Amino acid sequence: MRGFFLFVLLSTAVVASGATYPERSRRGMVVTQERHASHSGLSVLKAGGSAVDAAVATAFVLAVTHPAAGNIGGGGFLLHRSHEGRAVAYDFRETAPSQASPTMFLNAGQYDPIRHHSSHVAVGVPGTVAGLHLAWSQHGKLPWKSLVAPAIRLAKAGFVISPSLADSLARELPAMQAYPASLNQFSKSGKPYIAGEILRQTDLARSLERIAARGPKGFYEGETASLIIKEMERGGGIMTMADLRNYRAKARVPLSGSYRGHEILSMPPPSSGGVAIIESLNILEGWEFGPQDFGSARAIHQMAEALRRAFCDRAQFIGDPDSNPGMPIQTLISKDHATTLRHSISQAKASISSPATFVWSNESPQTTHVSIVDEEGNAVALTYTLEDSYGSRIVVPGAGFMLNNEMGDFNAEPGRTDSAGLIGTPPNLAAPNKRMLSSMSPTIVTKNGKLLLVTGSPGGRTIISTVLQTIMNTVDFAMNAQQAVDAPRFHHQWLPDQIAYESNGFSPDTLRILETMGHKTKEVRSQGAAQIIRVDPHSGWLEGASDRRDPDSAARGW
């Protein structure tokens, strides 16, 4: 019981600013990483909008108020489930420009990390505007213009900078020094904004107005597109006007699995999240867990070993499905495969991860997630990103938005192996029009045909373990939504071969037991920023939980 009692004490400490009670409502819920976005999304629901309508409005507001990850210059995934049970996954991951190649990150034959992650060459073709519009065209109720309007107002009139945003902008200013448009937008002549001041973004407002008036054509064609390509040419990028014009978001079939009588709906490739989460849950289904097991050495060991194997499979098999049509997805998420993997796990000793010859790409933790349920019970889980915090740090002059550096999610070069054991795969080498691998994991859980959980998180590869733990916290460990979000977290990704755990999150005795079993452990400050909605199966009330690891997060119910 030590681990369970420690969880109660630590979760109280983590959320000293508030009790472990979720926001509760009957009619609708919006949970995001920023209060203006949550408020705008809820206003859309109150006006009769659908969950997708609210997601569109929320995402555009985040592009104004959460510039580290909210965006129109990036991409992501949206998972929608109707109240009737129909589900669709919208893939608006960025694509590689048509001039991309597996060796594009080499400079004079040597790998160049600056070119890979911090240059105009690192910018992928953005997908956010196309993806939001595709989802809205199939599930929206309110006019497109009305959904972009809240973001336009906030960009024009400005909003009060929070202490968290002020700190974030100040940290990024040195990286923006090379880009005058970035400094002009996010500083006062090079001096940091301070909390309480107003941030206005008039160029961004004009870009949003073009999107409001013309939909995707207001971004991928015309003035905005010309401004993007002008900046690409100035900085030596390879994206062309044809790359922008030819971008298409895609509707895909969600991955579906089961866990202890619950249906798990999640993203298919090019996200690796759905595969890894379902595969891990399939392995873990062979053992019993109860509330008393939370934080125990046995539970952490079994969860870490499941994640180790899922990440190993991720490294060897997953990439863009359009470029890798033979991926064995159904085998990886099958119960038989999980049984074989479970039998390879010792209950007394940690496994050893072997690096083989793979190399991971560098996936940044800076992403943002939105969970929404509307009055009819339609649900949206939306995760989107610029890759690094503030992406490439390149604001398009005259357009006012940050460009991504998502090309950094492709592998560095063919056959590259890192001494730290970073892993990747041939399916994830750069190629023309290819979508880079992602860990973003918007996920919806149901039971007996009824909605139970909408979940997701930022965090790079830790997204997978964070989302896995929010599911287990509610299903196995009997937590309400806020407890499930506040609970201490850990992560294992095969390589590096270690359990990374949140500071003060787990008992020293538990950590010592894990180390005697052969696990290497590493303390980290925090992991993820989950935003979840849980439906109480007894009362039917919606429980919204924002992650107070991010002080600007907010759950708003109706």
Residue 423's pLDDT band (boundaries 50, 70, 90)? very low
Residue-wise pLDDT tens digits, 204-255? 999 999 999 999 999 999 999 999 999 999 999 999 999 999 999 999 999 9
- Percentages helix, strand, coil for the chain (3-state, rounded to 5) are 40, 15, 45
Express as a percent the part of the chain with pLDDT over 90: 89
Dump pLDDT digits (tens) for 461-475. Answer: 999 999 999 999 999
The closest alpha carbon to 89, from 247, 253, 249, 248, belongs to 253
From the list 381, 362, 389, the residue with the least C-alpha distance to 66 is 389
Q: What is the pLDDT of residue 202?
A: 98
Mean pLDDT within 370-391:
97
C-alpha to C-alpha distance for 545 and 531, rounded to whole angstroms: 6
Q: Any idea where the domains of the chain sit in the sequence?
A: 1-158+200-558
Average pLDDT, the chain: 93
pLDDT (average), residues 397-425: 77
Q: Rounded CA gap, 289 and 294, in Å?
A: 8
For 27, which DSSP code? S
In this structure, the dihedral spanned by the alpha carbons of residues 319, 322, 324 and 328, taken in order and rounded to 10 degrees, is 80
What's the pLDDT at 492? Answer: 97
pLDDT at 5 over 50: no
Whole-number Å distance between alpha carbons of 391 and 6 = 37
- Confidence at residue 421, expressed as pLDDT on a 0 to 100 scale: 38
- Give the residue from 310, 315, 299 showing the smallest Cα distance to 337: 310
Residues belonging to the active site: 367
Token pair belonging to 341? 């993997």
pTM (2 d.p.): 0.94
- Read off the pLDDT of residues 256-298 as tens digits, 9 standing for 90 and up: 999 999 999 999 999 999 999 999 999 999 999 999 999 999 9
